[in-house]
Amino acid sequence: MHIEWMQAVIIVTTSVGAAVLALMLLSLVYGRKPPAAAVSMHPVLEQTVFLFDDQQLVDATGPGHLLLDVAPMAATEWARLSAFLTPHFRDFDKAMAKLAELGRIELTERPEIGQAANGQMRLIAEDVNGLARITLIDPSAEGRGILVDGLSQRAMEDELELLRHTLDLSPLLIWREDEDRSILWANRAYILRSGAFAESDEALAWPLPRLFEIADDTSLTGPRRLRLDEAEDRISWFDCHSYSLDRGRLHFALPADATVRAEKALRDFVQTLTKTFADLPIGLAIFDRQRQLQLFNPALIDLTQLGPQFLSGRPTLYAFLDRLREARMMPEPKDYRTWRLKMTELEQAAAAGFHCETWTLPSGQTYRVTGRPHPDGAIAFLFEDISSEVSLTRRFRAELEMGQEVLDLMSEAVAVFQPSGELAISNAAFGALWGFAPDEGLTGITLLEAVRRWQGATEPAPIWAELREFSTRLGERGAISAEVRALDGRRFRCRFSGMSGGSLMASFVTLEAAPTTPEVKGLAPAPAAKRSKVLAR
């Protein structure tokens, strides 16, 4: 009995020792393998697989759910997946519509998306008992996962989220097209404006509709003004910037409604000014800072006799003045050099401030030329025909001179005082009688000063006090008259008559000449010829 127990212990001990020895040998064998073999091992990556019942997601693998989470915005999982796959696979929607008929479909990623031929993603769609099983295969990572540092992965995800959030909040419409002008990608502003997605919709319509028809004109380098008819009563405008890529184009559409409204208001304002200038009888010519004609009205054509073809060609200021000189529509200069110098002075004076000249033309017409500075260095010239005004002024001046000459030829001394009391007009006999110098009337002699002189040069008479009261009387006034005797013995009949408007006329007629001609203050001696004529009466 004792011997049997001993045999059993020996057998167990031997077995355990053999097992321990075997484990030690295995650890030594596998521990001597190069460490590079362990590094070359990659964890197996789970395939990206989706299972759909029509457009309803039934199930998906882990990578599939992650892909849906980062796919473009949409209300359903199918819309998200379609928005992600359509830019990568040509005619994805048309191919998926034939899945039930064909049973299996394989698609290869677009060459412009997958850079290398062996790096293009593949899609396998299978019809499994009425369900669509979609598998995405990335050859560059097929059958294995990719080890990425956790911080690097987090940094890339944060940057991706930042960029996506920035583009979603951008008010610009941004989209990318391929060579066939199909939209591969668009930001939120474009999608919402296109009507392919709204908060109440259930899915994102893909492919996205085209909002603008942009011609492939390589000669245009700047932005293009595009019009978008969103409704019958709503029209939006955009300035589109386009950039060519290796395969396709990238577009940025900036809202330009405010710019269009401002341009329309400016055009309406210019049209209003143009209509106003068209009805003006004054010729208008505006030259910019380069001294080229920018604006003119029809009156300028009539006044300068320059053809509309010449003015529409936007001539320079000197070409315009040269043509005026050739048409004899400006004063004839003595020589061309003097004329050029005068025109230079005219331009400089108009640019510095208000400048006005009067041109007497060889035809007898008279023009008033006015130059005014405008903003940004521009100059405006106004041409006004003042021939009738000058003629009227000359005629009026001639009539005044004739009337003054008639008064001076009268023997009766006459003077007219304004309602304010100032001397308005007098003749030569009045100045000779009372000793008023010709230029003394220009200094503003008043009726009160004249009465003082008359009263001081004559004997006391009630007419002077009556005249003071008569001059201040309101309403209609008749006339007062009296005979007065001067200190030198001469007798006069003076008459004061009220005129329309409150003026007063004073007239003096000599009745008897003085026997002698003493020097009396305020009373001039009568000429000998007149004295003998009066005595002859």
Give 98's contacts (C-beta < 8 A, 6+ positions apart): 105
What domains are defined for the chain? 48-141 (3.30.450), 162-259 (3.30.450.20), 280-390 (3.30.450.20), 410-536 (3.30.450.20)
Whether residue 37 is predicted with pLDDT greater than 50 in this model: the reply is no
248: β partners: 245
Do 484 and 492 contact (CB within 8 A), yes or no?
A: yes
**Which range has the worst mean pLDDT, 198-212, 351-365, 399-413?**
198-212
Cβ neighbours around 274 below 10 Å, total:
11
Judged by DSSP in three states, 57 sits in strand
Question: Binning pLDDT at 50, 70 and 90, where does residue 532 land?
Answer: very low
Whether residue 345 is predicted with pLDDT greater than 80 in this model: the reply is no
> Mean pLDDT, the chain, as a whole number?
78
Backbone angles phi, psi at 441, to 5 degrees: -65, -20
Give the residue-averaged pLDDT of 4-33: 59
Determine the number of helices (DSSP H) and then strands (DSSP E) in the chain. 18, 20
CA dist 441 and 57 (Å) reads 112
Report residue 406 as tokens: 């008639």
Question: Binning pLDDT at 50, 70 and 90, where does residue 13 land?
Answer: low
pLDDT of residue 414: 92
Q: In what order do the strands lie in the sheet with 183-186?
A: 183-186, 173-177, 248-255, 234-245, 224-231
pLDDT of residue 44: 54
Q: Higher model confidence: residue 152 or residue 80?
A: 80
Give the residue-averaged pLDDT of 313-317: 89
Question: Which has the closest alpha carbon to 494: 504, 479, 509?
Answer: 509
504: β partners: 417, 498
pLDDT of residue 31: 52
Question: Binning pLDDT at 50, 70 and 90, where does residue 151 land?
Answer: low
Question: Binning pLDDT at 50, 70 and 90, where does residue 64 land?
Answer: confident
382: β partners: 284, 370
Give the residue-averaged pLDDT of 135-141: 76
Question: Which has the closest alpha carbon to 137: 246, 17, 263, 49?
Answer: 49
pLDDT of residue 348: 77
Whether residue 69 is predicted with pLDDT greater than 70 in this model: the reply is yes
Give the residue-averaged pLDDT of 81-106: 84
Q: Higher model confidence: residue 165 or residue 230?
A: 165
Judged by DSSP in three states, 77 sits in helix
Whether residue 495 is predicted with pLDDT greater than 90 in this model: the reply is yes
List the alpha helices (DSSP H) in 90-149: 92-97, 99-102
List the alpha helices (DSSP H) in 179-292: 188-194, 257-278
Q: Is the pTM of this model over 0.75?
A: no
Whether residue 127 is predicted with pLDDT greater than 60 in this model: the reply is yes
pLDDT of residue 221: 65
Report residue 500 as tokens: 């329309």
CA dist 289 and 374 (Å) reads 9
CA dist 4 and 405 (Å) reads 178
pLDDT of residue 505: 92
Whether residue 531 is predicted with pLDDT greater than 70 in this model: the reply is no
The H or E element containing residue 126 is: strand 122-128
